[in-house]
């Protein structure tokens, strides 16, 4: 038997909560990583001075 089940995940995040800030920080870290470590020019264009200060 071969079962195929589609799964859909929905995440609800409430504004102005710690969870929202953590998710925002994770997204920012991903952009910083992509721009600095992998050398992605698209990600580098999204970085601002505060991102680089955060890195160091």
Find, among 34, 23, 22, 29, the residue nearest to 51 by Cα.
Answer: 29
Answer whether 32's CB lies under 8 Å from 55's CB. yes
Which structural domain range is residue 48 located in?
19-55
Query: What global pTM score does this model have?
Result: 0.52
Residue 12 pLDDT exceeds 80: yes
Report the pLDDT value the prediction gives residue 14, as an integer from 0 to 100.
92
Rounded mean pLDDT of 11-35? 86
Residue 46 forms part of a structural domain = yes
**Number of domains, the chain:** 1
Task: Please check whether residue 11 lies inside any domain of the structure.
Answer: no
The model's confidence at residue 56, banded by pLDDT at 50, 70 and 90, is low
Q: What is the pLDDT of residues 25-45, one digit of tens each?
A: 888 888 777 777 766 667 667
Q: Does 33 map to a domain?
A: yes
Let me know if residue 4 belongs to a domain.
no
Mean per-residue pLDDT over the chain, rounded: 79
């Amino acid at each position: 038997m071969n079962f195929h089940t589609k799964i859909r995940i929905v995440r609800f995040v409430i504004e102005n909560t710690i969870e929202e800030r953590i998710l925002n920080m994770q997204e920012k870290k991903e952009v910083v990583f992509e721009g600095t470590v992998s050398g992605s020019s698209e990600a580098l264009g999204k970085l601002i001075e505060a991102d680089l200060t955060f890195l160091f």
